[in-house]
Chains A and B, each alone.
Chain A
C-alpha cells in the first residue's frame, strides 16, 4: 500500500524539483500520446523543445520566445500575487482583451496626430481597462460575497463579445474596405510598440515584464504588502489579527492582476498583433495560470516558466505545421504540464511511504 505522510515542514528540494520532474513526466506521457497519434515521439519533442532554440529557424524563433513569454510573464506575475493571497482571478484573458481594447481605442482616437505622449497615455489606458474589468468581480465579491472564480471567468466571454463588436464595429478601420479589424499600429508610429532591438523580439511589453518581475520579487521579500499577501493566503485569520482588511486586499490584488493583464493586452495589440481583430487573443490569460503555478508563484520562477511555456507554444506550432500534429494535441500537451505539476507538488508537503503495515 502507498501512503502519504505529511512532512514536518515543506521540502525545499521538492519546491524546485517539482517543475523539473513535471516537465520530464510531461515529455514521457506526451511522447506516449504522440506515439498513439502515429508520430515519432522523439521527433515531436525535439521539434517542440529543441528546434526553436537550436534548429534551422532558431534565428527567427528565438525572438518569438520573448514575444510570447513577455505577456505570459506579465499576466502570471499579477495572478501569482492574488493566488498567494487566496484570491482566484481566473479571468485574466478578459482583462487582457479589455486592456487591449481600451488602450487601442485611446490611441486610435488621436489618429493621425503624432505626439510622443500618445503611447504612454495608451499604456495607462490599457492598464486601466484591465483594472476596471477586474474590479467587477472584486467589488461583487467584497459587496455581495460572490465567487470571484466564476465571475471573472464568465467576464472573459463578455470581453470576447466586446472584442468582436470592436473589431467589426466601433474600432473598425474606416479605410479597411469593410474588413473586420482596426487600423494597424505598425503604420502609426506614435502609438506603435515595435521591436526595440531588431530580431530580439523584445518590445516594451518584455521590458515591462522584466521590471515587474523584479518589483514583485522585492514586494514579496521585503515589503509589508508582500508579507500581508502571503499571510492572507496561508492564514486568513492571522492576517486579520495582523491588521489586514480582507476586502481591501481583494480589491488590491484583483486590481494589480487586472492592470498587468491589461498592460499585456495593450503591448500585444500595439506590437506583435498590430491591430484589434476578432481573434486577437490567443489564450495568454489562461496559459498564464499554468505559468504562475509552474513558476511556483515566485516572480523569478515565473520568468523561467514563461520562457518554457513560450517554447511549447512556438514548438507546438512548428510541430503542428511541420509534422501535421493536431493543435488540440499540443494543447493537451500543455495541459499535461499543469496536471503533472499539481500532482508532483504533493511531494513538497508529503512524503510517500511504501508498505501498509501500520
Chain B
C-alpha cells in the first residue's frame, strides 16, 4: 500500500486500434503489489480495452507489458489466470440452475471434487467476510451474492492481481461496504487490485492511486484521497463541469392534484423470470422529481413498461391529471402529455439500424402530428430530429445516420431530448445517464431539472444513488417489485436509503 512496495505489473507504450477508433494510445502505467489502483475514465476512454489486454482477451498493437519484471503477453485468459491475474466482470457469467460450488467448478481448469471444493469455498468466504453457501442455487442469489461467487472463484486461484470492472453498480450501500472491506483485506495481504469505475466518491474512499484515461491516453495519475471528486471528474472529461442547478423551484412546492398518481399497481411480469409488480403506490406533483432507486432486477423494467403502456394494467391503477390511463396504450398516453424514456437505448428506446429521423418519429409521431391519415410526414420527422439534435447538442454528421452509429452519450441525449421536446406534463425516465460520459450526464440531468422547473412531473428511476441525490425532491426504492413509501430526499442518510432498497440481503450480511 505504500511507495516501497515492489512493482507487480508495468504497461509501456500500449496502443490498440479498432476501425475508426484509437482505443489506447501510448498508455503507460504500473501497479504495485498490495495496491488498490483505480482505472478511471469516461465511457469509451479505453479502460475496458486496456484491462482486456492484461487479461489476455485482446492483444496490443504496440508496446509491451511486464509481470514481475518479465515480459508478459498472455495469449488467452487461461494463461493470464495461470500468471496470477483474476478478473470479476461487470456482467456475471453464471448458470442460474446450478449451485455455487458447481458454478465455481465450471470455471476451473482442473476442478477438485465438489465436496472438497465446497469446503474451500466456505473457508475463503469466511476468511474474507464474504458469506456464501456453496450448496445454494445461483438462481436464488441476489446480485451482490452472485458477485461474491465471481470474486471467490478468482480468490480460489490466489491471484496476485484482481481486476474488478464496475463492481458496485449492482450493490446496495451495505453490500458496497462489505465489498470494500474485503478488497482492503486482500490488499493488505499483498494482492494488487485494479479497480475500474467512474464513481469518483468510491474511488476516493477506496483507492491508493488512480490512473485517469481520456480518449485512450493517460492524462493523469492522481492520489484520490488527496484529490477532490470534482478535480478527478474534470481530468476525466478534460473541461470544467457544471453541476445541475434549479433556478426558481422551491422544494416541497407540490400543490394541487398530482400530475401522476399510481395506486395499487400490481401486475405479473411479461418478461420470463422477471419481477412482478406488487401494490405500488406513489404520486408526483407538478414540478416534482421523484427518484426511484433500487438494485437492478427489482422491478424497474416492469414499472417502466407499465408506465409506458407497453404492459397492460387496470385503468384505475395509473392516473394522469385525474384521468385513468392504466388501460391505454403508449400513443394514447403520449397524446395526454405522458412520455417515457426506457433504459435500453439500442433496441428499446431506439431502433439501432434506423436513422435518427425514423427514431424521432418513433415516439414523436403523436405529439408532433407526424402522421396524417396514416401517411408519414417525413419532412416533419426530419425537422423534429434536427430540432432535437440542435437543442440537445447531439454530435452526429446528419440526421440520416443510423442510431447505432452514435456514441452512447450522444444517442442518450437524442433519446432523452426526443421525449423532453414534446412539452410533456409527465416524464418517466429509466436510467437517464447509464453508460454516459460525465459531460453528457450533467447535460441530461440539467435538462430534466429544467423540465421540472417548467412544471412537469418527473419520475427518474436509476441505480446511481449520487444521481438521484442530486436531482430528486422525493425518494423511494424498489425492492422485489415493491416500492417503499416516498420520502423527502433532503435529510435521508445512506443508511436509511440502504434499508429502503431492501437491504435485507445486505443487513443480514452486515451482522456476520
Contacts and interface: CB of A to CB of B under 8 A. Distances in A.
Contacts of A238: 347-351, 362
B43 interface: no
Contact of B374 (A224, A231, A245): A224
A321 interface: no
Contacts of B374: 223-225
A358 interface: yes
Interface in B336-361: 340, 342, 344, 347-354, 358, 361
Nearest to A232: B351
A242 B364 CA distance: 9
A241 B363 contact: yes
A237 interface: yes
Contact of B402 (A9, A225, A243): A9
A242 B340 CA distance: 11
Contacts of B401: 9
A224 B351 contact: no
B108 interface: no
A5 interface: yes
A240 interface: yes
A234 B353 contact: yes
Contact of B310 (A5, A240, A358): A240
A10 B330 contact: no
B20 A8 contact: yes
Contacts of B347: 235, 237-238
B190 interface: no
B376 A227 contact: yes
B59 interface: yes
Given A5-B19, A238-B351, A224 B363 contact: no
B344 A242 contact: no
B273 interface: no
B368 to A, nearest CB: 13
Contacts of B365: 224, 242
Interface residues of A, number: 22
B20 A241 contact: no
A222 interface: yes
Nearest to B305: A240
B494 interface: no
B342 A241 contact: yes
Interface in A1-43: 5, 8-10
Contacts of A224: 365, 371, 374-376
B133 to A, nearest CB: 36
Nearest to A240: B310
B80 to A, nearest CB: 16
A234 B371 CA distance: 21
Nearest to A238: B351
Contacts of B220: none
Contacts of B330: 240-243
B375 A235 contact: no
Interface string A117-154: 00000000000000000000000000000000000000
Nearest to B329: A243
A358 B58 CA distance: 8
Contacts of A240: 310, 330
A351 to B, nearest CB: 9
Interface in B23-51: none
Nearest to B381: A227
B367 interface: no
A242 B362 contact: yes
A239 B20 CA distance: 31
A10 B404 CA distance: 11
Contacts of B472: none
B331 interface: yes
A234 B403 CA distance: 12
A237 B361 CA distance: 15
B300 interface: no
A9 B375 contact: no
A222 B20 contact: no
Interface in A225-258: 225, 227, 230-231, 234-235, 237-243, 245
B315 interface: no
B188 interface: no
Contact of A241 (B353, B362, B371, B378): B362
B362 A231 contact: yes
A84 B143 CA distance: 38
A119 B20 CA distance: 61
B352 A223 contact: no
Contacts of B354: 230-231, 234-235
A241 B349 CA distance: 7
B429 to A, nearest CB: 13
Contacts of B58: 358
A227 B331 contact: no
A67 to B, nearest CB: 34
Contacts of B59: 358
A240 B312 CA distance: 12
A234 B351 contact: yes
Contacts of A234: 351-354
Interface string B283-313: 0000000000000000000000000111000
A234 B20 CA distance: 25
A246 to B, nearest CB: 10
B363 A242 contact: yes
A237 B363 contact: no
Nearest to A222: B375
Interface in A305-357: none
Interface string A176-214: 000000000000000000000000000000000000000
23 contacts: A5-B19, A9-B401, A9-B402, A9-B404, A10-B402, A222-B378, A224-B365, A231-B354, A234-B352, A235-B352, A237-B342, A238-B349, A238-B351, A238-B362, A239-B351, A240-B310, A240-B330, A241-B342, A242-B331, A242-B362, A242-B365, A243-B329, A358-B59
Interface of A: 5, 8-10, 222-225, 227, 230-231, 234-235, 237-243, 245, 358
Given A223-B375, A241-B308, 16 more contacts: A8-B20, A9-B404, A9-B405, A10-B353, A222-B376, A224-B374, A231-B351, A237-B342, A238-B348, A238-B351, A239-B351, A240-B330, A241-B340, A241-B349, A242-B365, A245-B329
